[in-house]
Amino acid sequence: MVRLRFAPSPTGYLHVGGLRTALFSYLFAKQQGGAFIFRLEDTDQQRLVEGSEDNLLEMMHWAGLQMDEGPGIGGEFGPYRQSERLPIYHQYSQQLLDAGHAYHCFCTPEILEEMRNAQKAKGEAPRYDGRCRHLAADEVQQKLSGKAGHVIRMKIPENETVLMSDLIRGTVAIETSQLDDQVLIKADGFPTYHLAVVVDDHLMEISHVVRGEEWLPSFPKHVLLFRYFNWEAPKFAHLPLILNPDRSKLSKRQGDVAVEDYRQQGYLPQALVNFIALLGWNTSDDQEIFSMEELIEKFSFDRIGKSGAVFDREKLNWMNQQYLKDLNSGDLFELLAPYIAETPYRDEENSQLRKVSEVVQSRLTTLADIKSKLALFFEDKPTLNDAHLIEVLHEESSRIVLNEFKQQAGKAEEMTVESFLALMKSVQKATGIKGKNLWMPMRFAITLEEHGPELPQVAAIFGKEKCLRMIDQALES
């Protein structure tokens, strides 16, 4: 059975790169009728952030990635927090010691620092020099009996080329001379990622591992551990980096990287998931908008590229706008409500707020944009201060159109979409002015904006009195 896992560390927010890893794992698992597992890799006790686990789970749920197994969900392969699996790791580290694939290392932090400094002074890459690797068994036992602080390291074979198979990159070869003897059990008794991930992937019967290419340098260590245990390794897929527009690695220094940030800014989960799915993966056609069902159907590892994928915020904005346009009015208003609640207009009548939401829907890039759109409809008399608008309104043809509309609208009983269109047709007939010269002065005068929602809809929400007040202001300008 196909089983894939997403295994973040509870050390902060869910990174968009982490969401992509989770998404690709989820898509393949569901496509193959398999299981998607959430596992918490919390063995680095110094970096744990309170509330991080809940946030990770909440963001996964928000993105629509439903876990089949995990903390709080259950499953036959638990527990799913590594901190609750310590006896398991000690059992397998002892197995490596007994087989001669690992050893106790008693080097203190001071010794290690001195070692690194000496290597740097010689122009060498800092690495553990293996000095505890050949300690005599009685010396090791003596130190252990004396409660000497120690770690357990794996033995990296010397002068070997480790060949690894990757679903995206094909065969990857790394020389063991580039590796040092990795710590497997730390001095505090907790395993490092390298031991825990291999043991857990085996015991949880993980069939495929999806992760970022930053893990490639560690790949041979994991392959060797699977060999030492005589276990069949999962199939691996190392995803390309996500890059900033300048092709540097995506980082918080140049923009938002937390999934939570995008939710707060008013991006829809469907849009963010769709956008992230296309960071490094593509189909053979030009399709850009995908439902989750379509992503599950079409996803494949052989369509993932090796080169970095640029995080293009403008593309994300466009995609989010497409999803917003497709929402029905009820769902839209429900999603906008928290953002409207942050504005001075939150106490306006719900019926009016709903109408405004429908009118501006096509102009929203994110849900948060509603906060800047409401003033047009609820400010009694906004100030006209745009030089270009004032210049257009000063043209003689503009004054003719505005005065004629004012005169004819004064006789109308109410302002609806239909009556506004009828008035504009009548003004055109009376003045002989049409097209841009007819409509732009009206838009500028009533909305104080060059672009925006459909003018008849705005006028209908404003009503007759406000439309005439705005036109008076324009004529006075």
What's the whole-number mean pLDDT along residues 340-362?
93
The conformation of residue 307, written as its DSSP 8-state character, comes to: S
> In the prediction, which pLDDT does 285 show?
87
Is 80 exceeded by the pLDDT of residue 382?
A: no
Give per-residue pLDDT as tens, 424-454: 999 999 999 999 999 999 998 888 888 888 9
Quick one: how far is CA 35 from the chain centroid?
22
Contact (Cβ atoms closer than 8 angstroms) between residue 192 and residue 182: yes
Give per-residue pLDDT as tens, 12-62: 899 999 999 999 999 999 999 999 999 999 988 888 888 899 999 999 999
Is 80 exceeded by the pLDDT of residue 87?
A: yes
- Which residue in 252, 425, 429, 436 is the catalytic one? 252
- Distance (Å, rounded) from C-alpha 345 to C-alpha 240? 45
Which helix or strand (DSSP H or E) is residue 163 part of? strand 161-166
Q: Kindly give, in sequence order, each residue whose CB lies less than 8 Å from that of residue 228, ignoring residues fewer than 6 positions away.
A: 96, 99, 101, 154
Interior/surface letters 362-388, b for 16+ CB within 10 angstroms, e for the rest: ebbbbbbbbbebbebbeeeeeebeeee
Conformation bin of residue 455: beta by default, left when phi > 0, alpha when psi is -120 to 50: alpha
- Is 373 catalytic? The answer is no
Task: Tell me what the pLDDT averaged over the chain comes to.
Answer: 92
What's the whole-number mean pLDDT along residues 242-270?
87
The conformation of residue 84, written as its DSSP 8-state character, comes to: G
Coil/strand/helix, residue 455: helix
Interior/surface letters 211-223, b for 16+ CB within 10 angstroms, e for the rest: bbbeebeebbbbb
Is 90 exceeded by the pLDDT of residue 104?
A: yes
- Distance (Å, rounded) from C-alpha 27 to C-alpha 14? 18
Is 70 exceeded by the pLDDT of residue 384?
A: no
Is 90 exceeded by the pLDDT of residue 228?
A: yes
> In the prediction, which pLDDT does 254 show?
61
**Distance (Å) of CA 425 to CA 397, 408, 420:** 16, 11, 9
Res. 458 pLDDT band, cuts 50 70 90: very high
Is 90 exceeded by the pLDDT of residue 386?
A: no
Share of the chain above pLDDT 90, in %: 78
* Higher pLDDT among residues 473 and 306, named by residue: 306
Is 90 exceeded by the pLDDT of residue 392?
A: no
- Strand locations in 245-397 (E): 309-310
